[in-house]
Amino acid sequence: MATSTIARPRTPVSPDTACGPTPSDLLENKLAQLNSLLWCCHGDGNRWFEDAGPEHLDNVLWIAAELARDAMGLFQACGVGRAAQG
């Protein structure tokens, strides 16, 4: 016979984060991802990026371009939010 499982009490959620992450939080995450990606490609001067081959280089640059494009959109959303508040 199986033992009964009792759920833990719910952790209270701040009303500020109830709607999800803010554009500035998402922007910070995208920039951190882009920074890590580019560091992995170049880092402290390793030559991985040059030795990866054209297919991998295209994919890495595609990822970097998407992250930068997403970050730009989030930056603009942050600016629109600031203009509405100010």
pLDDT of 53-67, one tens digit each? 888 888 988 999 999
Segment 25-54 mean pLDDT: 82
DSSP secondary structure string for all residues of 14-53: -TTSTT---HHHHHHHHHHHHHHHHHHHHTTT-SHHHHS-
What is the per-residue pLDDT for 37?
85
What is the per-residue pLDDT for 41?
77
More confident residue, 41 or 82: 41
Residue 69 has pLDDT above 80, yes or no: yes
- The amino acid occupying position 36 is S
Output the average pLDDT for the chain. Answer: 77
